[in-house]
Chain A
């Protein structure tokens, strides 16, 4: 596991990450959090050695700072936020072996309208860091390009009162194995909105590790998985570390053919984090007997005065609604598409950035043509 031009990291830190990976090996289905996404089975041990994944900045808004993570002597805004300790195996793997990475910053107080467009490409491991400093705001549009295997370790830090909307749209990638972990730290009064629309891959895993670290911090997560075959796993862990923090989650899945939709969402409210407010909804529609959905919302509460709601439901299209539409002259296939779109719509509507929302909607409509 020797990288030729590894990302700049202390030998110590790299060694610790490598040791964690060495110790655990590739995640597999007998590890609870990976039960529905057996990475070892699809990859074998080969996955951890490829090191050529890259990033591509397709649009860099004026005013942002950029730092290539393979350069030595990183500035403080990078070293303060990069390579935080984590128990996450795949995150450690990318730290240990990635040879490419990018750090981006919106300086304090700067509001940027023009979206940052960032793609991850190629096979292997890649790191990214995005810092949105106090009072700053940004829209991030993340693109996903096909690869046999890619592991993205993404760290995001929001300063006090900062605002970030992060939209990731992943096309249908039949042969791809894609793993990404976004670790998001949110300071007091800051808001993170994350939306994840995906059409599935051979194995697709998007993990969100959200830390609400300051009073008034908010995280709003939403997403849609539309799977005509293929696999999509959204795994979230939202930690309310202090009181008066707010989180919401709304995930909608449609699985057809041999599609498999996974949602695992854990919300932790730390001791003393009174006044935390969290809601969590995951729903799936299964079209056909071979489709599968595994929805697992979970609450872990150590505080006394909190408001937490969660729910999950798996079902089929409503026969009565379908009949109603058909009895008004709408052909069956179109009526099914209307109902599927209606089912997904509230999650799509969570996207605040109009251009991204329309893009997500357009891609969904195109995919629905094939599913229904």
Chain B
């Protein structure tokens, strides 16, 4: 599904990712753990195609295609979804209008016909309930005045709605209390699918209690320094990053 080879990424001329290699197959859930400043968010933004993240070397293949050559909207239409750490607030655009526009944009790019307002509403309602996203939230301006939990629930709702092939979750646990975390994790787990790959990016082991990964990669100073099964998270929790980062350095 996703093949990252020797990826080097610079932001404002400063190299952040320094030769990252990673491979995720369909149906797999991988986690990337790492301390602050290790390049976790740079990786997620690079995968989603944010401007200003310059690939200076290496490659990203998604379903065999060069992901780096595509604008963000094309990546989305082809099934790449980034659940953001800090979803932006956009006053003046209602959440429902946004969902409809995004969904139909993706459909159009795939050669499918638009869904009408009723069709979108039905689809959204069917998915919103499990994530405790209320009708009232859908009427409000996108993310405006939403609590941290509401924002993350809406990100998860979008993931359920767009049904991506590759879902990247950037610090989905940040700002969530334990109940909100459980709710979001359940939503994510419900989307586990043999055809879908997931990349869970997190600083803390806590999230991985709820979204149990097949494989864990430890990112430090712009490259993967350790890999292992789910038990690696427990080791990191017990001994801290310094232990492993120090070993690899």
A interface with B by C-beta (< 8 Å): 318-321, 323-332, 334-335, 338-339, 341-346
Contact = CB atoms under 8 A, between A and B. Distances in A.
A330 B105 CA distance: 5
A227 B19 CA distance: 47
Contacts of A343: 92
Nearest to A326: B72
B20 to A, nearest CB: 20
B49 interface: yes
B145 interface: no
Contact of A324 (B88, B92, B106): B88
With most chain A CB atoms within 10 A of its CB, the pick from B49, B91, B102 is B102
Contacts of B103: 329
Given A319-B51, A330-B73, A331-B73, A325 B92 contact: no
Contact of A323 (B51, B105, B109): B51
B73 A326 contact: yes
Majority secondary structure of chain B interface residues (helix, strand, loop or mixed)? helix
Contacts, number: 74
Given A320-B88, A323-B72, A326-B76, 5 more contacts: A324-B84, A326-B71, A326-B72, A329-B76, A341-B92
With most chain B CB atoms within 10 A of its CB, the pick from A318, A321, A329, A332 is A329
A321 B105 CA distance: 17
B82 interface: yes
Interface of B: 48-51, 71-73, 75-77, 82, 84, 87-88, 90-93, 98, 101-103, 105-106, 109, 158, 162
Contacts of B77: 329
B109 A342 contact: no
Closest 10 pairs between A and B when the two form their complex, measured CB to CB: A342-B92, A329-B76, A329-B106, A328-B102, A326-B72, A345-B92, A329-B105, A324-B88, A327-B72, A342-B93
Given A326-B72, A329-B162, A330-B102, A346 B92 contact: yes
A334 B101 contact: yes
Contacts of A334: 101, 105
A302 to B, nearest CB: 35
Contacts of B98: 325, 328, 338
Contacts of A324: 84, 87-88, 90
A323 B45 CA distance: 10
Contact of B76 (A318, A319, A327): A327
A320 B88 CA distance: 7
A321 B103 CA distance: 17
Contact of B101 (A321, A338, A344, A345): A338
